[in-house]
A and B are shown apart, each in its own frame.
Chain A
Amino acid sequence: DTAVSQTPKYLVTQMGNDKSIKCEQNLGHDTMYWYKQDSKKFLKIMFSYNNKELIINETVPNRFSPKSPDKAHLNLHINSLELGDSAVYFCASSQRRFEWGGAKDTQYFGPGTRLTVL
């Protein structure tokens, strides 16, 4: 059973198009995230949702819009794709509540979606 899944794994599209990446977790976690990993492998957080509510929104162009229909899903929609959007996008999830000595804060990552904008 896949804990955090993303679809699609690969996405190749033309500049200017609109695309979506879906993420689902079956871990019962409260919090979900989107990260972007650039060509130099640097991982940077984009968004975080807790129980469908946006709690982290880093400096990301308005063309990126996360949507959380329920706490098990966090989708990423990208409008007017640009060449610089080419990257690997990772979804992750964790339990929001903090407990001393527990592992509930650990983030579990999906397999990533490689987006290539031509």
Chain B
Amino acid sequence: AQTVTQSQPEMSVQEAETVTLSCTYDTSENNYYLFWYKQPPSRQMILVIRQEAYKQQNATENRFSVNFQKAAKSFSLKISDSQLGDTAMYFCAFMNLWSGNQFYFGTGTSLTVIP
């Protein structure tokens, strides 16, 4: 079974600073996807970024980037130039390509951006 671990239940960052959220996962599979989702107070789950395991290059989406270390099974999210609107719960998720698109979520990290 796949497990996803987010060891930081809560984090805070000053506006305009950079913050890194950590995520580790456990799998015996070689082909999989990893995702970061954001859940603001509105409760909506919003895709932030995705990474294919077969790609060595780290994914980047504007101020969001990941540090994907496949051998270490680590998938951290870096948010640069933090904005107040980044305040949310962030969930790391793992998907095994050959298991019916089933997602496994971590327990989330609550990020607060301080003005």
Residues of A within 8 A of B (CB): 31, 33, 40-45, 48, 50, 55-56, 88, 90, 92, 94, 96, 98, 100-101, 103, 105-109, 111-112, 114
Interface of A is mostly: strand
A-B contact pairs, 26 of them (CB 8 A): A33-B103, A41-B107, A42-B107, A42-B108, A48-B102, A56-B102, A92-B45, A94-B101, A96-B101, A98-B97, A100-B54, A101-B52, A105-B101, A106-B35, A106-B47, A107-B35, A107-B101, A108-B47, A109-B37, A109-B44, A109-B46, A111-B43, A111-B44, A112-B44, A112-B45, A114-B43
Interface of B is mostly: strand
B side interface size, CB within 8 A: 24
- Complex Cα distance A20/B100, Å? 25
